[in-house]
Amino acid sequence: MTPAISVRGLSKSYGHLHAVRDLDLDVGYGEIFAILGPNGAGKSTTIEILEGHRRRDAGQVRVLGEDPGTAGRSWRAKIGIVLQETSDFGMLTVLETARMFAKCYGQARGPEELLELVGLATSSGSRVRTLSGGQRRRLDVALGIIARPELLFLDEPTTGFDPEARRQFWDLIRVLADDGTTILLTTHYLEEAAALADRVAVIAAGRLAAVDSPARLTAYVNTAATVRWMEGDQLHVEQTDRPTELIRQRSANGAELAALTVTRPTLEDAYLRLVGLA
């Protein structure tokens, strides 16, 4: 099947700064795809090109079968965009805001249905300026999906959220994905990528460092387990691919392995290695 997003040789420079260099990506229909990378890695530039908001210097890009640089209104009606900034519509209520945006589209979700979907039904009469940060972000998503887009772009969607609000937002993203929406998100939170994404692309200095499932990305670093324990006052640390056998050998003579821990490389370990920070 043709992917929802296909990128080949994408490049973009700003003067002498190479923001994106020869990038290749594929995102399948119905997939939650996350892009990770440090500040300045090229994530936002890549997303803006895919959204049709920035021109590329080189490369081939197809989003929902069209070139976003030349696609028209019918194509734009198929995508939803949630920017980093939260919405603020002054004195309008949540329901008034949803109704105003619904009138901008020929076919749109009903405002009441929309607010129920994103968990804002009980806040429909509240003025937008009185909402919490998490509620405003839900409103942003509501406005982004009001026209039932096939593809939703989420740029750093949970920045500044507390842990509870972040997990509630994840539940909303999963609901949208279960409904068949293809989702491309950028995030700084490795836990978020691991919890949501089917696949993760790691970008460093404008180049693709790796793309794989969150679980398989750990294969890009040493997969040996680290075993730590105390014998008396002495700390022992060993790396091994067979930690169970090592523990059995060390305790065979009845020795007590105090403070025993076994750890394996995490997504964070892989990320730091791939972006050159470890």
Is the pLDDT at 93 greater than 90, yes or no? yes
270 domain residue, yes or no = yes
**Coil vs helix vs strand at 265:** coil
Here the tokens at position 219 are 């294969």
What own/partner pairs with CB < 8 Å and gap ≥ 24 does 20-23 have?
20/45, 20/46, 20/49, 20/56, 20/206, 21/205, 21/206, 21/207, 22/59, 22/207, 23/59, 23/203, 23/206, 23/207, 23/208
Of 274, 194, 266, 180, which Cα lies nearest the Cα of 34?
194
Note the pLDDT tens digit of each residue in 151-180.
999 988 887 777 887 888 898 899 889 989
Is the confidence at residue 87, as pLDDT, over 80?
Answer: no
Give the SS3 label for residue 257: coil
Query: Does residue 250 belong to any structural domain of this protein?
Result: yes
Over residues 221-269, the pLDDT tens digits come to: 666 788 898 887 888 898 888 888 888 888 877 777 888 888 877 777 7
Confidence of residue 12 (pLDDT cuts 50, 70, 90): very high
Check residue 6 and give its pLDDT: 97
pLDDT of residue 88: 66
pLDDT band at 70 (very low <50, low <70, confident <90, very high): very high
What stretches of 136-277 adopt beta strand conformation (E)?
Answer: 151-155, 182-186, 199-204, 207-212, 225-231, 234-240, 258-263
Is 38 within a domain?
no
pLDDT of 114 higher than 60: yes
Q: Which residue has the tokens 């519509």?
A: 89
The pLDDT score that the predictor gives to residue 29 is 95
Least Cα distance to 117 among 174, 161, 78, 74 occurs for: 174
CB 199 within 8 A of CB 4: no
CA–CA separation, 197 and 272 (whole Å): 18
Residue with tokens 């990506």: 25
Q: Is the pLDDT of residue 4 over 90?
A: yes
Residue 222, pLDDT score: 66
High-pLDDT (> 90) share of the chain, %? 40
Residues 200-212 have pLDDT tens digits of 999 988 999 999 9
* Residue ranges making up the domain that contains 229: 221-274
Report if residue 227 sits inside a domain.
yes
Q: Is the pLDDT of residue 62 over 90?
A: yes
How would residue 188 be classed by pLDDT, with cut points 50, 70 and 90? confident
- Flag whether 241 is in a domain: yes
- The answer to whether residue 193 is domain-embedded is no
The upper half-sphere exposure of residue 98, i.e. CA atoms within 13 Å in the direction of its Cβ, equals 28
**Average pLDDT over the chain, rounded to an integer:** 88
Give the sheet arrangement for strand 258-263, strand by strand. Answer: 234-240, 225-231, 258-263
pLDDT score of 2 more than 60:
yes
Which of these, 193, 207, 189, lies nearest to 45 by C-alpha position? 207
Average pLDDT over residues 137-144: 88
| 237 belongs to a structural domain | yes
**pLDDT the model gives residue 189:** 84
In the sheet with 5-14, reading across from the earlier edge strand, the strands are 17-27, 5-14, 58-63
Domains held by the chain: number:
1
pTM exceeding the 0.95 threshold for the entire prediction: no
Tell me what pLDDT residue 240 has: 86
Q: What integer pLDDT is reported at residue 272 of this predicted model?
A: 82
Residue among 107, 125, 104, 105 at smallest CA distance from 115:
125
Distance CA 113, CA 15 (A): 47
Give me the pLDDT at residue 57, please: 96
